[in-house]
Structure 1
Amino acid sequence: MFTVYVLYSEQYDKLYIGYTSDLEDRILSHNQKATKGYTVRYRPWKVIHTEEFDDKGLALKREKQLKSSRGRNFIRKTYNLLR
């Protein structure tokens, strides 16, 4: 099982979109474990959207869709995060 997820940093008004096979550990990594990278700069993150897939290829395809301009607009509109 693969999960596509969207994180939101309220403090910085930032979105992060990714996929994983272990959502709980991945969120812990974004918020606590990681010592470098994009998500370290904008902590804390909260999960605002998830979608589950049985196939890794489908999860990657959906992640790519959400990372597009149209996908980010969809997320911002759906969760009322309009700037």
Structure 2
Amino acid sequence: MKTLGTHNYYVYILTNLNKTVLYIGFTNDLKARLYWHQNPDAMNKHFTSKYKCFFLVYYEHFQDVEIAMAREKQLKGWTRLKKENLIKDFNPDWKFLNKEIE
């Protein structure tokens, strides 16, 4: 069991090169999950592989898994415009943030 304050959960948004598709996900290891999206198992083609959503443009960090999962669900229910505004507030130029994740 982890001690209080040591949990890490992330809600994140990926896009494709042309920024036309958005994918919202949840993970406890953002760096590993980004690698997994960019290097999928050949037997398991997922949404991010099909639409080439490999580029991180937004993320939030949480220490409580229930709050993180609720946030992911909330964001998935938003309109495209609302998601775009969230990204713009966090990352105005829609810069790809993959290399900034430790």
Normalized against structure 2, the TM-score is what?
Answer: 0.68
Separation in 2 of the partners of 1:73 and 1:34?
Answer: 32
Structure 2 residue identity aligned to 1:74: K
Report the Cα offset of residue 12 of structure 1: 6.4
Q: Which has the larger radius of gyration?
A: 2
Please tell me whether the aligned partners of residues 6 and 48 of structure 1 are also in contact (alpha carbons under 8 angstroms). Answer: yes
Separation in 2 of the partners of 1:44 and 1:66?
Answer: 17
Structure 1 residue identity aligned to 2:71: R
Separation in 2 of the partners of 1:9 and 1:19?
Answer: 18
Residue number in structure 1 paired with 2:76: 67
Structure 2 residue 84 is matched with structure 1 residue 76: yes
Indicate the percent of aligned positions where both proteins have the same amino acid: 32
Greater CA drift, 23-32 or 34-43: 34-43
Cα distance change of structure 1 residues 41 and 12 upon mapping to structure 2, 3 Å threshold: farther
Cα distance change of structure 1 residues 69 and 27 upon mapping to structure 2, 3 Å threshold: same
5+ residue gaps, structure 2, are 1-7, 95-102
5+ residue gaps, structure 1, are none
Q: Where do 4+ consecutive residues of structure 1 move more than 3 Å?
A: none
Report the Cα offset of residue 77 of structure 1: 2.5
Normalized against structure 1, the TM-score is what?
Answer: 0.81
Residue number in structure 1 paired with 2:60: 51
Cα distance change of structure 1 residues 64 and 28 upon mapping to structure 2, 3 Å threshold: same
